[in-house]
Structure 1
Amino acid sequence: MPSYSYKVNSNGSGSTQPMESEVEVVEESERGHWGSKAEFLLSCIGLSVGVGNVWRFPYLAYENGGAAFLFPYIILLVLIGKPMYLMETALGQYSQLGPMNVWRCAPIMQGVGVAMVVLSFITAIYYNQLMAYSLYYMFGSFASEVPWARCDPNWADSNCFEVGGIYPCSRYNLTAPTLTVNCTTKNESSASQFWT
C-alpha cells in the first residue's frame, strides 16, 4: 500500500497537497517450525549422539579406568554438559536465530558462534568420509568375492594369509624345527591387512 506525505508548496501559499512517495517493502520469510515434538526431540538426539558416542566412548572408558572414568564423566556431564546444552537449545528456540547470530546478545561471545559453525563443517567432512567408506564397502561386500578375501600383492606383505588357504610348511620353516628356532611368525589374515 503506498504511503502519502504532505509538504508545503514551493509558492509560499502555505496550502498542502498530498504527494505520493515510494516505499520499499521488505518481506521477511517466516522461519520454519518443528512439525511435532518428536521431530524436535529426534533432531536433538541426532545432534548429541554421534559416531564418537557409539565408537569412541567405550574405548575411552576402557583406556581410562572403566568405572573409575564414568564417575567424573557423569559429574561433569551433569554440571557442565547438560546446562550448556540446555542454554544453547533455549537461546536457539527463543531467538529463532542461527549459531552465528544468536550470540549477538553478548558480543564477547560471538566467537562461540563462529567456532560452532567451523566445528560443524569439520564434523560434516569427517562424517561424510565415514559414510562414504560404509557405502563403498557395503556395496563391495555384495560381490561374489570380496577384495579382502585374498592376499593382493599391492597391499599385502609376506605375513598375509588367506583364511581357509593351504600353505606349505616351507613357508614357515617348520620342516626341521629345533629348539633354537623361533617359530612365532606373526601372521595376519588378508582382511586384517586390508583394513590396516
Structure 2
Amino acid sequence: MALTRRRRRPLDRSQEHLRDTQLVIIAAEGRQTEHDYFAMFRSTRIQVKVLSADDQNRSAPEYVLERLRAFRERYQLGAGDSLWLMLDVDRWGSGKLAAVAREAKSVGFGLAISNPCFEVWLLYHLTADIRDTNRCRDIEQELRRATGHGYNKSKLKPERFEPHLRAALERAEAKDPSPRGRWPDRLGSHVYRVIRSLPEEALPVD
C-alpha cells in the first residue's frame, strides 16, 4: 500500500539539535561496522543515521538501494539532508554495481563505494602504505596487524580510528585512483566523500 503521509524528520530528539540540523542518511551493506564507525560524528548541527542490513542480511546492492529509497519515502526530509549509498566492490560484478550506481545518481543519492571493501577506509586511518589487492580478507589481515589488537567487524572500537580521521581523509583523497568515478577502479575508498560533506564542527577533535 502506498504511503499517503510521511513521518516527520527522524531526528534523534534525545540529542541536542537545532531547527536546521542536517541529517545524513547512509545505507550500508554491513550490519554493524559502518554503524559503529559513524557514531563518532555528532554535533548540534548534524546527525548521521546508518541504515544497516536487516535480519535477513540482504546486503546486495539492489537491497541497499531499496532500503535508502524506502527511507526517503517514509520520512519528511529537508533540503539540506543528504542520502548516501555505501557499498563494497569485492562481492559484486561491475554490471550490477553500475546499474545500481546509475539509479542512485538519477534520484540524487551520493555514492561512497570502497574497493575492495569498507576496511580500506579504516586502514587509511593507520597507514598510507596498503598492498594492492582485490580481496577484502587481505585488507582485514593488514588491519589486524596495523591495530595491534586485532579487528572484529561486530566490535569496531571507533576510538582507535577517531584520532586519525584527518590523516585518513588526506590519504584516501591522495590515493584515489578514480576521483571522478562512481567507484575506485582499483584499491581505494570514496567514504571520504561523506566526511567532506559534513560541517567541520561535526568532526572529532584531534
Tell me the TM-score normalized by structure 2.
0.18
Higher helix share: 1
Higher strand share: 2
Q: Which has the higher contact order (CA 8 A, sep 6+)?
A: 2
Tell me the TM-score normalized by structure 1.
0.19
